Structure 1
């Protein structure tokens, strides 16, 4: 491809006549406008020069002889111009030749190249030609408009000397040199400004080599396409893709709002903020949107300027938005609202905010464009996001509004998810706290301390629980459990199981039998529900009963980790036991374990959240637990904190329940036992023995009621029970009277009629004592009654 000056791309009809006058010495003495258009030489440069200097090659001899033919001239830009020329002799005085009148017109090839030149000059994109040293050789009209100067001021200049963007200049020159050196076309994409443009544009520039007739590269041509619209379309798509990955990474309302504004600044806005309605930050239901002034709370904002000086409202503060303000309009209309400098409502809003802004924070005079878009999810309006442009010269347009609505829609769903999660978590936590024991009953036989840590994971709260249940005979039940799953369903199931355990504990069932009944309950609960989530209902549980008289701990587990015991010598170990299947499996037995504990032993019951985690080894965590339990601690509460700090990771993925119990024993001085001969005549002796023991304990005030209770219970055991019969008095915080016999038939209260001989004994016992009951034993049953003792 050859290079042509723009003067060669004029209308061919205007180029039909080009004339020059050459004197007898071969010096040009006349030069027409047509000649300038064809060769690029103005008259002042052509006149006075030797005609031979304008030739690119010697003319054919036959053309010289015939004074007609094709002659190749050298264009002013260095290219060869073939011209069809004709000459006429100019006669001087006396008829001697005084020179020649020469006319010329483009040859056929040149006429065809003229169309290409027209296409170059009139192209809608910026086109330029550079030599191999990156100097301008040619520019079309669009390129001149982009550069802001005429072509004559750029020809022959080095590219870097004509632009101010050094980064763009380096990349651009590197590609020009690459094409000139390799001869291979290249494409260069950039985002930069131009001398005659008031904003940056995206450019896609194609470069290709220009070769002469011998194939040598003598120039590089380029065409630069303004791809700003396509660039911003890609940027918007990239922003949407990034929003999908970066917004909603946590189930936290404030953090989600922060992620939105961090995404918008600085690529989309110079300042961005998110304001929410107050109810969206709490657990309340959505109230009606105010018809006039709207009160919003600022939850997040960010700026391209450090310190966010543009913010007229601090994070956490509320602000009132009048109906004419863009944020209020967006909330009421449910669509994005554009605001531009010069619009009355926009200027009025800016003025009012500046009037209320603290001194030194009245920045809004520089705001020329803003975009307010409502945050709506599932038909619910949560708040509004605002994007402001100050330094960015481009005003927001329709495409920006569409993008903002899409981003706000995604962010609103994430905010609503976080709000719903927070609400469900608050509900579940309140439900769980209401079901857990608020204050454990005072026990003389164990000292207890406990901790419950709800999970902070997105899965929500689990169904962990613990309990301490007083039993008859000064015994106490220690319970921990864990329901499979998270959230309100798990908390509700936990409450049902906790209640069931207390009910079964009142029956005084052994640990293995209690777990069997609890397993049946879980199986029934799962079978009664038809949905998949309920069908997968399951739980684990550890139930232990401590008897301070025998110092024996009876326990059984349903899929639960074994407890740890800290012995009086300071060592700690896990209780060797066989854990049965989790509750809800059904059909498999549970095995009870018996363990004798010295007084002062500490029993640690816990849920699996304490030792199990994806990134931890269970054996290692269990060893850490045993080591932590042996740490010196003044109280059990201190020991609880020590254990949690030593064993738990920084962010536990599951709920954790920990229950510590230090055992005490009731010595022989607090327990009295008599074997009763199964004869009614020995009832009086039993009363006398009980009265004497009360006198020894200093409890004479309780003697009258105790005699009646002993008389009725021993008489019933002799009359309706089976030997052996045994009477036991236990002095604890209450006075406990127990009568055991070898029969498994349990008595029950009934209303005696006027002529009935019996049926009044148990009613009398129930009226005189604080509570009474019966429990099954391995050798029969035990009837017991408790009396309240006066405080000592």
Structure 2
């Protein structure tokens, strides 16, 4: 409420205002006599109140030569013919003349008496004041920033046009109301508290930032506001002045820049996190994880079954067949239960939006999801109901395209995130999908290539059922690499020879992939053919060495053990291959001491032979280096682990193979493993080999 001023307060207020303006006030009655003479008039003209009051103004202030002009102007003002303004020479008490600016108007008292009010000032002073007032008015009315004055009760008493535009409310609807009443949609309680502190303390609040949603244009806006306490010359609080600057445009630009930085960071992060392996499910899961929660609350990755390894159908044959590969949610939600089961193949009809994205190869955006849209997003009506209850309100599907081929789709939903997907999200999701699609394509081609390599390698290896050569029980295993990019060229073989003898062979072609598998097949075939002609291990390795040189850029390791059951005699030769392990009942298992020759393909060097006598119950364990070579452990320790596994009571050979592979397995194995175990059986006609055969170059290794 505005305070009503008494007569004394009014005089003080008027005096204070005249002091600020620096002008004199003179009131003249109908007879031309001075009725009021302000202190400013005394200072300006030199006459005291006692000297001026009751005198004829024209006689006191002007000379005889100008008296008539003053009287005529006075009569026009008193006749109500308007105001009079202009410059006029006035006589000072000391006799000199002042050129003053005069503003005159007629006033009427409560008694009905008419008076003339004159406002006088030195010409430069009044012009300066008027220019300042005109400038102030223009600044208030035309300033691009919002300006307002509030009283001590925080009710608007002045609002400029800029603040009208900022608030979207006419000035008339501001006046007499508080900020909370004018803009109830904003959180102004804290702002009003700060205004009251400014009124109480006099300390201004400068450039305070505020963000809010304005209903007149449906946009979020940002402002900086400043609050100042207003005081008069007597330091009495008159109210509060506020300035409001709309900074929505730079605010939106800063938000856009921040979003751009986050998106670039997300893309860079995706380049690191997606495609860490060549495993399809892992790559799909990495893509889903990188998009949650930065892009979506729920993400799913579906691949066309036709592009997956081993697929029998073709793309475009009837309804699209998808395989759900991954789903990720930012928080536990029933919406994940409505997704297609991971790993299962589902026929997606054309009406489904994810199908459209994959078949058309273009993003599908539904900013505001309706009930009808949910039926085209979910796999069935029940799933659509679950998605509705979960709060799915915005949807985006983008195709996964690599090397010109659509591989599937990235399916994105928003539930808790209130913002709908927009075109920026489409661009970001498309970029993420494009990068991930290359990793997915690499993974599927790797799996295809690896499958072909494994098929070739297994075709070239011995049959699943172990042979039964004379005097020996045989068991073997082949284990492909887990962490390697491609399957290697490891092989093993059991070759029956004349006279009941048997050649046991393990080898490892350096390199990987189909080339290594094919080279392995050639060396294995050559070994089987040559063994029937020249079974001696050293001669076999010499011929294989020449064959490897003929193949060009081929290098391999190989170990050959020629066993004769008649005397338990075994001859061994190695071409750079790890030594076999001998496990004899009652003795500690240990590697057989060999003098290995160079790997196959080097050429020109001999292959020393080692003679060994085997006894019934002995196990000779042959393997490739993938069993004992790992990055973070010494080979000797791995060999010790292998010999420890072979200690103790004898197990069935198949169980021994399983035990060794399970115990020695590492999840980061970089190489294939071939394992061949031969157990010496008792001879039907006696027990040859029960005693060592001592001869030059032979040894018992017992």
Report if TM-score (shorter chain) is over 0.5.
yes
Secondary structure at the aligned position of 2:396 is classed as strand
Match of 1:395 in 2: 420
**Shift in CA distance, 351/474, structure 1 to aligned 2, threshold 3 Å:** closer
Contact conserved, 2:450 with 2:486, CA < 8 A, in 1? yes
Match of 2:324 in 1: 298
Which of 440, 446, 449 pairs up with 1:421?
446
Give yes or no for the alignment of 1:51 onto 2:9: no
Match of 2:587 in 1: 570
User: Scaled by the length of structure 1, what TM-score is found?
Assistant: 0.61
Which of 581, 593, 602 pairs up with 2:619?
602
Secondary structure at the aligned position of 1:456 is classed as coil
Match of 1:369 in 2: 394
**Following TM superposition, by how much is the alpha carbon of 1:667 offset from its aligned partner in structure 2, in angstroms?**
7.9
Match of 1:333 in 2: 360
User: Scaled by the length of structure 2, what TM-score is found?
Assistant: 0.69
Give yes or no for the alignment of 1:406 onto 2:394: no
**Aligned length in residues:** 580
Contact conserved, 2:466 with 2:476, CA < 8 A, in 1? no
Match of 1:242 in 2: 269
**Shift in CA distance, 583/342, structure 1 to aligned 2, threshold 3 Å:** closer
Match of 1:553 in 2: 570
Whole-Å separation in 2 of the counterparts to 1:494 and 1:208: 82
**Following TM superposition, by how much is the alpha carbon of 1:95 offset from its aligned partner in structure 2, in angstroms?**
11
Which of 601, 620, 639 pairs up with 1:584?
601
Match of 1:3 in 2: none
Give yes or no for the alignment of 1:141 onto 2:163: yes
**Shift in CA distance, 98/556, structure 1 to aligned 2, threshold 3 Å:** same
Taking the TM superposition and a 5 Å limit, the aligned residue runs for 1:112-151 are: 121-122=144-145, 141=163, 145=167
**Following TM superposition, by how much is the alpha carbon of 1:271 offset from its aligned partner in structure 2, in angstroms?**
3.0
Secondary structure at the aligned position of 2:412 is classed as strand
**Shift in CA distance, 305/458, structure 1 to aligned 2, threshold 3 Å:** same
Whole-Å separation in 2 of the counterparts to 1:618 and 1:56: 101
Contact conserved, 1:331 with 1:384, CA < 8 A, in 2? yes
**Following TM superposition, by how much is the alpha carbon of 1:381 offset from its aligned partner in structure 2, in angstroms?**
1.9
Taking the TM superposition and a 5 Å limit, the aligned residue runs for 1:31-70 are: 50-53=13-16, 65-66=43-44
Which of 306, 310, 317 pairs up with 1:283?
310
Contact conserved, 2:481 with 2:673, CA < 8 A, in 1? yes
**Shift in CA distance, 615/499, structure 1 to aligned 2, threshold 3 Å:** same
**Following TM superposition, by how much is the alpha carbon of 1:226 offset from its aligned partner in structure 2, in angstroms?**
2.4
Give yes or no for the alignment of 1:480 onto 2:506: yes
Contact conserved, 2:21 with 2:129, CA < 8 A, in 1? no
Which of 665, 669, 692 pairs up with 1:652?
669
**Shift in CA distance, 575/223, structure 1 to aligned 2, threshold 3 Å:** farther
Which of 456, 466, 473 pairs up with 2:492?
466
Contact conserved, 2:570 with 2:611, CA < 8 A, in 1? yes
**Shift in CA distance, 206/648, structure 1 to aligned 2, threshold 3 Å:** farther
Whole-Å separation in 1 of the counterparts to 2:189 and 2:523: 73
Match of 1:500 in 2: 526
Match of 1:456 in 2: 482
Match of 1:771 in 2: none
> Which structure carries more relative contact order (alpha carbon 8 Å, separation 6+)?
2
**Following TM superposition, by how much is the alpha carbon of 1:502 offset from its aligned partner in structure 2, in angstroms?**
1.0
Secondary structure at the aligned position of 1:485 is classed as strand
**Following TM superposition, by how much is the alpha carbon of 1:400 offset from its aligned partner in structure 2, in angstroms?**
2.7
**Shift in CA distance, 645/270, structure 1 to aligned 2, threshold 3 Å:** closer
Match of 1:708 in 2: none
**Following TM superposition, by how much is the alpha carbon of 1:202 offset from its aligned partner in structure 2, in angstroms?**
9.6
Taking the TM superposition and a 5 Å limit, the aligned residue runs for 1:352-751 are: 353=378, 356-357=381-382, 361=386, 363=388, 366-438=391-463, 439-526=465-552, 535=553, 537-664=554-681, 666=683
Whole-Å separation in 2 of the counterparts to 1:293 and 1:320: 6
Whole-Å separation in 2 of the counterparts to 1:163 and 1:606: 76
Whole-Å separation in 1 of the counterparts to 2:543 and 2:422: 69
**Following TM superposition, by how much is the alpha carbon of 1:55 offset from its aligned partner in structure 2, in angstroms?**
7.8
**Following TM superposition, by how much is the alpha carbon of 1:427 offset from its aligned partner in structure 2, in angstroms?**
1.5
**Following TM superposition, by how much is the alpha carbon of 1:453 offset from its aligned partner in structure 2, in angstroms?**
1.3
Whole-Å separation in 2 of the counterparts to 1:263 and 1:200: 30
Contact conserved, 2:478 with 2:673, CA < 8 A, in 1? yes
Whole-Å separation in 1 of the counterparts to 2:189 and 2:431: 34
Unaligned segments of structure 2, at least 5 residues: 24-38, 46-84, 86-99, 121-125, 151-155, 231-240, 689-695, 697-702
**Shift in CA distance, 411/145, structure 1 to aligned 2, threshold 3 Å:** farther
**Following TM superposition, by how much is the alpha carbon of 1:142 offset from its aligned partner in structure 2, in angstroms?**
8.7
**Following TM superposition, by how much is the alpha carbon of 1:611 offset from its aligned partner in structure 2, in angstroms?**
1.0
**Following TM superposition, by how much is the alpha carbon of 1:222 offset from its aligned partner in structure 2, in angstroms?**
7.5
Whole-Å separation in 2 of the counterparts to 1:541 and 1:142: 91
**Shift in CA distance, 164/222, structure 1 to aligned 2, threshold 3 Å:** closer
**Following TM superposition, by how much is the alpha carbon of 1:509 offset from its aligned partner in structure 2, in angstroms?**
3.4
**Shift in CA distance, 426/186, structure 1 to aligned 2, threshold 3 Å:** farther
Contact conserved, 1:471 with 1:508, CA < 8 A, in 2? no
Taking the TM superposition and a 5 Å limit, the aligned residue runs for 1:186-197 are: 194=213
Structure 1 vs Structure 2 CA RMSD: 5.1
The C-alpha deviation readout for 1:61-109, integer Å capped at 9, x for no partner, is 98873389xxxxxxxxxxxxxxx99776989899999976588975667
**Following TM superposition, by how much is the alpha carbon of 1:442 offset from its aligned partner in structure 2, in angstroms?**
0.6
Contact conserved, 2:503 with 2:535, CA < 8 A, in 1? no
Whole-Å separation in 2 of the counterparts to 1:129 and 1:480: 96
Secondary structure at the aligned position of 2:506 is classed as strand
Contact conserved, 1:436 with 1:465, CA < 8 A, in 2? yes
Match of 2:234 in 1: none
**Following TM superposition, by how much is the alpha carbon of 1:625 offset from its aligned partner in structure 2, in angstroms?**
1.5
The C-alpha deviation readout for 1:150-191, integer Å capped at 9, x for no partner, is 69867799x9x973999x99xx99xx9xxx99x9x9999x9x
Secondary structure at the aligned position of 1:226 is classed as helix
**Shift in CA distance, 445/393, structure 1 to aligned 2, threshold 3 Å:** same
Contact conserved, 2:563 with 2:569, CA < 8 A, in 1? yes
Secondary structure at the aligned position of 1:543 is classed as strand
Contact conserved, 1:201 with 1:226, CA < 8 A, in 2? no
